[in-house]
Homo-oligomer: A and B are copies of this chain.
């Protein structure tokens, strides 16, 4: 933090950084909008639904609803509706928790895993096309800098 503050004192407030933020926000919204559109057209799906499946695929043994919400950092209410629809569609199952009659785990079915694998591969291809102007090594460097930026922000707000 000391280094950052020294830099801030040395350099005047930069219009370029403000412009970068505005462009950054616009690009991130445009990419997200394109992903939403592609998921809708190609898979009749949504980004929140994709995110729920991605989270569940990372936990083989399943997750309680509260854990799933924690992983997604969204309210339980939103997730419940998505999970209900995924269960209806056979993508996930609810399984009882041994020793806790009121709790259940949410877990991907084999069909759900296959469907998500297809969607995730398409998602990766879409991203690859949208970010094609960044070479892999440029992408790598920028990702590392954004990771650092994020770490700096986390440090400031514990």
Interface of A toward B, CB cutoff 8 Å: 4, 7-8, 11, 13-28, 30-32, 34, 37, 124-125, 127-134, 136-137, 139-140, 142-143, 145-150, 152-154, 156-157
Contact = CB atoms under 8 A, between A and B. Distances in A.
Contact of A133 (B127, B143, B145): B145
30 contacts: A4-B132, A4-B133, A13-B124, A14-B136, A14-B139, A15-B124, A16-B143, A17-B136, A18-B127, A19-B143, A20-B134, A20-B139, A20-B143, A21-B127, A22-B143, A23-B146, A23-B147, A24-B24, A24-B27, A24-B28, A24-B142, A25-B28, A26-B146, A27-B147, A31-B149, A31-B153, A37-B157, A130-B149, A130-B153, A133-B152
Copy number in the complex reads 2
A18 B128 contact: yes
